[in-house]
Homo-oligomer: A and B are copies of this chain.
């Protein structure tokens, strides 16, 4: 994986792909599936996500204030759903799903090599955590696999139904 320019991070998150959220607490990494996220700022890239306090990842994210947001290719769909259908409370998901990891540079949670992009993030605003489970994250480092830069992603439409990226339109736009 190669470094991705900070100004390009929004191109990964803005289209609304299903992502994986990796956390780590007391030396134990965990990972969940997530589609409730959005961009908040271009540079430094900031994003927001909602993690329910019913998710095992919630306490780790709130306590450690760091995570990795990883973007899986559409080919990983079955594994992505399975990761979302069990809990880190009783499952080592990295072992169970045979995920390949490598250490991140700035945060304790690992990068996920099965994913074509990984964002090392720090929590920078927790004011809406109690009311809405809403965390604002700042991306510290971004990584992309250049061989999979154009990987198709998944968009969750509810109850295990996903649209995969289809044809690409290129229209003249004066704006990012």
Contacts and interface: CB of A to CB of B under 8 A. Distances in A.
Interface stretch (A7-15, A56-64, A90-98): A7-15
B173 A159 contact: yes
Interface of A: 8, 10-11, 14-17, 35-41, 46, 48-50, 74, 77-78, 81, 84-85, 125, 127-128, 131-134, 136, 152-176
Contacts of A17: 16
Contacts of A50: 38-40, 48
A125 B129 CA distance: 12
Given A125-B128, A132-B41, A173 B16 contact: no
A85 B14 contact: no
Contacts of A170: 160-162
Contacts of A154: 169
Given A40-B50, A48-B134, 20 more contacts: A14-B35, A14-B157, A15-B16, A15-B155, A16-B17, A36-B40, A40-B133, A41-B132, A77-B171, A84-B175, A85-B174, A125-B131, A153-B163, A154-B169, A155-B165, A157-B168, A159-B176, A160-B170, A164-B169, A165-B166
Given A85-B174, A128-B136, A132-B136, A162 B168 contact: yes
Given A125-B131, A166-B163, A166-B164, A15 B35 contact: yes
Contact of A77 (B48, B164, B169): B169
Contacts of A136: 128, 132, 134
A11 B158 contact: yes
